Structure 1
Amino acid sequence: MMKRIVLCFLLIAFSTSVFSGVADDGAISTGEYDYGIIEWNSRNPSLVVEGGANVIDIRNYGRLEVRYTSIPINGDWYTGGIRDIHLDDYSELLYLDGITDILGIDENATAELKGGSINYIDSMQNTDTKHIDLYCQSGWSWLYDDEDLDGIDEIVGITGLWENDSAFTIGFINDYTFGYDPVYMNINVVEIPEPATLLLFGLGGLALRKRR
């Protein structure tokens, strides 16, 4: 009986270990989903995601590139998307598209956000240097909590349009427990020209060439 109990325990531990096997090759491909807790420490190669995962933990100098993800069915994070991404140490994230519930960023980690859907950002960093670059069109705005009890409107999110004209709204999880700055202070918003503006620039340049 004791051997069976030990065997069952080992099987459970193995099934929830750092890798469930999907991401061992440095990629979660289309149609794949990793149910475990992925811990990735490598910059070369980066961990590339085109599928889905439960938890991805990037440490040391590891790098994560999320190109796109599968779509959760009826909000079930075990059917698609990435439920949690956690960046620690000096790790890096390039987020191009996909669906993620919570992005947590800690220590000296950095992130570039250029598309997709991220429900919440949990930032546990001091903001002498901003660690999150968010690329979007002009016209974006902060979201405020008008019901803050201290009478000060707290910034609790950001909304706007990505470069491809898709809309985004990201909520902030402000953690003041250990003296961290609010999330918005950690975000560097990089405004990019609207596609129509780029087209006008291109046509203008073409017209100038013809005149010459």
Structure 2
Amino acid sequence: MNLTVSDLSVARGGVPVLDGVAFDLPPGRALVLRGPNGAGKTTLLRTIAGLQPAEAGRIEGAEDRIAYAGHADGLKAMLSVTENLAFWASVFGTSDIDAAVAAFDLEELRDRLAGTLSAGQKRRLGLARLMVSGRPVWVLDEPTVSLDAASVALFASAVRAHLGQGGSAVLATHIDLGLAEAEVLDVAAFRATPRAAAADEAFL
């Protein structure tokens, strides 16, 4: 099933950010969002993930199919690496965490408490949650933050494997992950027009 966005308008704090966003993402493909800081990439991703309502437009093919990874890693500090992944697997109704542990090189950290991990290790664990979700659509906001070059390569491999299995991904990143299956969408092309008229109404 494709993830289809049609004439989508999104706002941040009640202020229009993007207007008329449209794309059609089939299984096995990735869409990389580009644009300057503050352009609306995070707002768009949160809207697609269902974390905030759209101002207008339609999102189809998202219901119960999306796994979202934002700026927070979503970890429980007093649980071990294994326990964190097992917790998220239970939330999503899955059970196998071994593939995620291997993909993000977490084997030697399995018994470590998440709260004792370095920033990069926490990020790897947070991204490993995607693999235990069983969800076909990954929505990712700057997923490579805090990752060194080797860990970025692990993440890129995980995304390629996900796409190869018929999954899809929408991600905002400034790093070239070498994804041959990726298209680029510049969100600056959809910048919303300020509501000058609405501001004037305050004085009427």
Q: Please, what TM-score do these two structures have when normalized by structure 1?
A: 0.29
RCO greater where, 1 or 2, for CA within 8 Å and sep 6 or more?
Answer: 2
Q: Which has the larger radius of gyration?
A: 1
Query: Structure 1 or 2: larger strand share?
Result: 1
Query: Structure 1 or 2: larger helix share?
Result: 2
Q: Please, what TM-score do these two structures have when normalized by structure 2?
A: 0.30
